[in-house]
């Protein structure tokens, strides 16, 4: 449910960006969403289509690039994708620790015309 306010915010930013740059309408909004960001891309896309009615974003595409979470090994320092039920490093006998990779949530670009 918390995707609704954040989607409204994204639409506001896209509209402002369009006006500020003399565009007539928004063609696409490209988002980057990490799997651990706490936001569900599909929900944002559904809200986006509803909220954008009668705005400069009407008919625009909401493209979402997802980011797989990565752990960093506490021994060798390599980044790796967490496997189910384990934090073991695949390169050595170290343990993976959480990183910021996978918590991304931002607008990558906005296409206007």
User: Quick one: 13 or 79, whose CB is closer to Zn ion?
Assistant: 79
Q: How far is the CB of 87 from Zn ion (least distance, A)?
A: 11
Q: Where are the beta strands (DSSP E) in the chain?
A: 26-34, 61-67, 70-73, 79-81, 96-98, 105-112
Which is nearer to Zn ion, 89 or 110 (by Cβ)? Answer: 89
- Give me the sign of the Cα torsion angle 100, 102, 105, 111: positive
Region of 13-21, 37-45, 62-70, 92-100 interacting with Zn ion (CB under 5 A): 92-100
Q: Could you tell me the end-to-end alpha-carbon distance of the chain, in angstroms, rounded to an integer?
A: 31
Choose the binding region for Zn ion from 24-32, 39-47, 52-60, 68-76 (rule: CB under 5 A).
Answer: 68-76
Phi, psi of 68 (to 5 degrees): -75, 135
Interface positions with Zn ion (CB under 5 A): 73, 75-76, 89, 91-92, 94
């Amino acid at each position: 449910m918390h995707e609704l306010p954040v989607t409204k915010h994204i639409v506001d930013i896209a509209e402002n960006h369009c006006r500020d740059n003399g565009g007539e309408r928004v063609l696409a909004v490209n988002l980057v969403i990490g799997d651990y960001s706490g936001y569900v891309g599909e929900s944002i896309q559904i809200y986006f289509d509803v909220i954008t009615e009668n705005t400069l974003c009407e008919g625009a595409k909401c493209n979402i690039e997802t980011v797989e979470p990565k752990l960093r090994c506490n021994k060798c320092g390599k980044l790796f994708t967490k496997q189910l039920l384990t934090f073991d490093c695949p390169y050595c006998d170290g343990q993976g620790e959480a990183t910021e990779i996978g918590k991304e949530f931002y607008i990558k670009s906005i296409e206007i015309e």
